[in-house]
A and B are shown apart, each in its own frame.
Chain A
Amino acid sequence: MANLKLTNVEKTYSGSVNVLNNINLDIKTGELIVFVGPSGCGKSTLLRMIAGLESITGGEFTIDGERMNEMPPAQRGIAMVFQSYALYPHMTVRDNMSFALKLAKKTPEEIDAAITKVADTLQLTEYLDRLPKALSGGQRQRVAIGRSIVRDPKVYLFDEPLSNLDAALRVATRIEIAQLKESMPDSTMVYVTHDQVEAMTLATRIVVLANKGIAQVGSPLDLYERPENEFVAQFIGSPAMNLLAGKIVETGDVTQVSVNDGKGVISANVPTTPDLKGSAVNVGIRPEDMVPATGDNYAFESKVEISEALGEVTQVYFERQTPESSPVIAKLQGIHRDVRSQIMRMSAEPAKVHLFAEGKSLLYR
């Protein structure tokens, strides 16, 4: 049981290089929080600050109300699974798992009991006397996790644990981690990944980190359905949300925006005030929400350049407006043959249209 709280936490290297600031986070017992973001956003650094492997330059970090900034890692009640598993190569699986317990001066009986139980849960019993080099990647991963569980910590920290596995193993192990969390409802877990699928499937809440700070915190579906800014909107969901330049023509409970250089118009369920009339906005529509327009109202008309038939969906890439801009993408359900080089008119349901001004969602002004 552990509540973690980060208040105004900041990380600066050598007095001048600031990588994180204004980090405020309240993690409750039993949550599985995922830090996600592009590489270099500081998610691993933040995790390591929680672990105590990096110092906290400013702000306060507490666990259950107790200040942890100066506490050495071993006394924070945490256990960490490293990206490369960090198994001690010269020790057997059994010794790897019992190392921390021996340091904590537990009795041999206690150690034995703990290891037997965890080995059983993770199906490692037959490997207990092997060296890490005699194990496969997946087995090593389980040993790394087992090493953490054996210590019965308050908080589990995972630093991109699936990155070193191949695709199929990654899916299988992801499910195992999810099941593990189910079996430990009172444990708090903090998980770092750059893969948004892992984030969406494992997290109770996701913390999106970007530009040295937190872009948004929320449940996976929160972030999907109600992104607070363009960054999160385009980070979650693949392919990324389309952003079309537009101008507000009608304000009110339902806003009308002209797009496509005035050739198209679309309605959004975003309430706006009259002073916003005429202002420039970016219209965000997810590829999966783009549907062929019915009737005369359409948002977007263009020629299909590339069509990818994936069976379950057909991904359609429209011609770019300019060489530098990204193509507008639509994900059509099912099989659509012969759409290449067709001119199509696309629209979307007002409920699925997002409006962004200066990078921020108009829903959250």
Chain B
Amino acid sequence: MASIAGTKSSLVWAVHLSLLAMVLLWLFPTAGLLVSSFRTGDQIATSGWWKSLGDSEQNLTLRTGGAAEQAEKDGQFVIEGNLFGEPGEAVISVWGTSSRSISDYQAGDTADLSETEKVTVQANGDYTMINSEAFSGGRGQRIFVTAETPPEFTLKNYNYVLFDPSNREGMAKAFFNTLTVTIPATIIPILVAAFAAYALAWMDFPGRALLIAVVVGLLVVPLQLALIPLLKLHNEIGIGKGYLGAWLAHTGFGLPLAIYLLRNYMVGLPRDIIENAKVDGATDFQIFTKIILPLSFPALASFAIFQFLWTWNDLLVALVFLIDSTGDTTVMTKQIVELLGTRGGNWEILATSAFVSIAVPLMVFFAMQKYLVRGLLAGSVK
């Protein structure tokens, strides 16, 4: 479009800016979660995450050193040091000596603590306490400061959520459980569907059109309808709640999409190659394994991505077919729901756990986006 004569550059800029605005709008919520997972609970509770990327103003309660650190200088007793331990990048703006008046003094001012004691606090946290008499009391003086602290991030949350054994709501176990559900549930439907798709694509038999219509129809059926009957069935045949039930359910629910995607793709394979193979003497089975399957790889990959994301992100099937009262087989989506209830206020745990649960799908998404897009497009563009 830009090469067309007379295109105003203002139009081009408008397009860029609107697109940028839209992208930022879409990214913003997820970015919030990601950034929050790296902040401590206090930080999250006290300031919006967008502020964490710049300096934030915090009210802190710090202590000077105790009497044990005093030194004698020029007849005075002096305790010196830095309220932060070491001068860092924090900048104190105002401070006070009592919790009721925390902004009495500016940085650099000197406060009278008593008739004989004085304390001076500098902007970088250095302090000097001077007493004409010896200090007593081992715990030092509390100083209330308002400081601008630079952005500070931590991996503590991830540590806790993933690795801390004392964390009963830890994600590590749920992570492996989710993996355990997802992988078989992705692999098994592929094979079953591939054979069926080949039959529907390249074999001629009465009722083929009807079956294809049935598959298209089943694509739409909401899986809510299947929950109770199947749960009953599983209980009756002894599978009960567990991994096997979940695998079978996911396979059943994923088959319509698998057959649809694979069939669409297989129909597009060049007829000549298949006919050539038949003339060369290959059986249908050989044609399927040696020609169709390898050539259908893009479609197989597309469906695999789809199914992987779908089963990883699933909640309902897990709730119904997998998770029992022991909670041993809990998956990450369920964990998040639990956390929303029990730890709704602890955003640092919630954000981190949520992010752990979406990290793998995001990685798969970015790595295999091409196949996911191709899968979506199959049969959708008219």
Which chain B positions have C-beta within 8 A of A322? none
Task: Confirm or deny: A93 has a beta carbon within 8 angstroms of a beta carbon on chain B.
Answer: no
| Most chain A beta carbons < 10 A, residue from B4, B6, B7 | B6
Name which residue of chain A comes closest to B4, CB basis: A53
Tell me how far the C-beta of B381 lies from the nearest C-beta in chain A, rounded to whole angstroms. 15
Over the window 68-87 of chain A, the binary record of Cβ atoms lying under 8 Å from chain B Cβ atoms (1 yes, 0 no) is: 11111101000000000000
| Total contacts A-B at CB 8 Å | 27
CA distance A55 to B9 in the complex (A): 14
Count of chain B residues with a beta carbon within 8 Å of a chain A beta carbon: 5
Task: Confirm or deny: B5 has a beta carbon within 8 angstroms of a beta carbon on chain A.
Answer: yes
Name which residue of chain B comes closest to A49, CB basis: B5
Interface residues of A in 216-247 (CB under 8 A from B): none
Name which residue of chain A comes closest to B2, CB basis: A55
Interface residues of A in 36-82 (CB under 8 A from B): 52-56, 68-73, 75
| Most chain B beta carbons < 10 A, residue from A55, A68, A73 | A55
Interface residues of A in 9-58 (CB under 8 A from B): 52-56
Do B6 and A71 touch (CB < 8 A)? yes
Name which residue of chain A comes closest to B6, CB basis: A72
Interface residues of B in 19-62 (CB under 8 A from A): none
CA distance A75 to B5 in the complex (A): 10
CA distance A54 to B5 in the complex (A): 6
Task: Confirm or deny: B114 has a beta carbon within 8 angstroms of a beta carbon on chain A.
Answer: no
CA distance A53 to B6 in the complex (A): 9
Do B6 and A73 touch (CB < 8 A)? yes
Over the window 2-18 of chain B, the binary record of Cβ atoms lying under 8 Å from chain A Cβ atoms (1 yes, 0 no) is: 01111100000000000
Tell me how far the C-beta of A77 lies from the nearest C-beta in chain B, rounded to whole angstroms. 13
CA distance A40 to B4 in the complex (A): 20
CA distance A126 to B150 in the complex (A): 78
Tell me how far the C-beta of A146 lies from the nearest C-beta in chain B, rounded to whole angstroms. 24
Which chain B positions have C-beta within 8 A of A55? 3-5
A–B complex contacts, Cβ < 8 Å, 12 sampled? A52-B4, A53-B4, A54-B4, A54-B5, A68-B5, A69-B5, A70-B5, A70-B6, A72-B4, A72-B5, A72-B7, A75-B6
Q: Using a CB–CB distance below 8 Å, which chain B residues touch chain A?
A: 3-7
What 10 pairs across the A-B complex have the smallest Cβ distances?
A72-B6, A52-B5, A55-B3, A54-B3, A53-B4, A55-B5, A72-B5, A71-B6, A70-B6, A70-B5
**Additional 4 contacts, C-beta under 8 A, given A52-B6, A53-B5, A54-B5:** A54-B4, A68-B5, A72-B4, A72-B5
